[in-house]
Amino acid sequence: MRAVTFRDVGDFQIEDVPKPSLQAASDVLLKVTLGAICGSDLHIYHGHTPINPGAVIGHEFTGVIEEVGPEVRRFRAGDRVVASFFTACGHCYLCRRGWFAQCVDKGTFGHGEYFGNLGGGQAEWVVVPLADHTLEVIPEGMSDEQAIFVGDILSTAYFGAERAEIRPGDTVAVIGAGPVGLLAVMAAQLFGPARVYAVDMIDARLELAQELGAIPVNAAEVHPVEFLEKATHGHGVDRSIECVGLISAVDTAFECVRGGGTISMVGVPSKTEWQFPIMQAWMKDLTFRAGWCNVQAYMRPLLDLVAAGRLQPERIISHRMRLEEAPEAYRMFDAREATKIVLTP
């Protein structure tokens, strides 16, 4: 089958690799119908995520089930499904407490040997282990483009907004207007804020953020913390959602909130350590949260919100390309010439 593989830093190729087959009784074989390129794939592309050469890339995908293992209960061949970007067993101590992202059996799709050795979704087929707790059926009438993001970036954006504790009337700053930040702008609005600001440096992304209801803040033109302070009569915003992962963005997220505010970080940290401003946090009564999204807990309600027309995540798609065009798609996404690219096998 055709698949996007990691060859070297900055070198993803489209290659022929063996078609995967069921290995365990809880597996499902999926014929991929749509894949998407994520900011997390760029961490691999830049060599920041360790991965073995030849690994198939891709953790955002939808598909049609071709084969089910004998222990799979919730799905049948022919079902249209969307996958979480990681697997969960559903039975362990932390899954039973609703923390699927902390599952003892967690593996991440498209991240090679060091993250559970799962296949990737930027391919024609993918095997989904622990399918009963990793997949959701796509509601009838919903397109793959509408559904795909609940498996990763829409859930992440919602998770970030929920953990920011937004209350009606709040001011919210979303730091980073990449795909995650843009969806955070959308998700934040479900909680009734008075104003949502979106901070980035890329005009096209800031324009889209504005179309989605945010007030754009171009960090290449103004100092974002000073701008937000002025905009909130010197107080700072009530909540910030960090959607970048670079330390400079975490600093902005921290510095732009008022006393008693909340900082919610979902960007993957670019460094393993960061000097936590404990005195500032203490003096200002701040709440800081960070984390890997607990996707499985959000897929079903988010699919319902999309079905009801209250979220339109497909609005962030800027380019629709063929799987065969993946190397060019990565170049474009890395160069910020595209906001979100989906690939059709």
Q: Which residues bind ligand NAD (CB under 6 A)?
A: 38-40, 42-43, 152-153, 156, 175-181, 199-202, 205, 219, 243-246, 248-249, 252, 266-268, 292-293
Phi, psi values for residue 280, rounded to 5° = -60, -40
CB of 179 to Zn ion, least distance (A): 9
If the CB atoms of residues 20 and 245 are measured against ligand NAD, the closer one turns out to be 245
Residue with smaller CB distance to ligand NAD, 56 or 243? 243
Which one, 136 or 152, has the nearer CB to Zn ion? 152
Sign of CA dihedral 13, 17, 19, 22: negative
Site for Zn ion in 21-40 (CB under 5 A): 38, 40
Q: What are phi and psi of 248, to 5 degrees?
A: -60, -35
- Two structure tokens written together for 150: 């609940």
Selection from 152, 122, 99 nearest residue 33 by Cα: 122
Number of residues engaging Zn ion in binding (CB under 5 A): 3
Q: Using H for helix, E for strand and C for coil, what is the string for 123-145?
A: ECEEEECCHHHCEEECCCCCCHH
Whichever of 183 and 225 has its CB closer to Zn ion, that residue is 183
Nearer to ligand NAD by Cβ, of 42 and 137: the residue is 42
Distances from the Cα of 28 to the Cα of 2, 24, 71, angstroms = 19, 9, 10
Residues 135-154 that bind Zn ion (CB under 5 A): 152
Residue least distant from ligand NAD (Cβ) = 178
Our CB check for ligand NAD shows the closer of 59 and 258 to be: 59
CB of 68 to ligand NAD, least distance (A): 27
| CA-to-CA dists, residue 54 to 8, 13, 85, 289, 317, angstroms | 9, 9, 19, 35, 28
171 lies in the binding site for Zn ion (CB under 5 A): no
Q: Which does 31 bind (CB under 5 to 8 A by kind): ligand NAD, Zn ion, none?
A: none
CB 119 within 8 A of CB 20: yes
Output the six-digit token pair for 201. Answer: 């440096």
Q: How far is the CB of 161 from ligand NAD (least distance, A)?
A: 12
Q: 10 Å Cβ neighbour count for 80?
A: 18
Three-class SS state of 312: coil
Query: Min. distance of Cβ 66 from ligand NAD in angstroms?
Result: 27
The contact set with Zn ion (CB under 5 A) reads 38, 40, 152
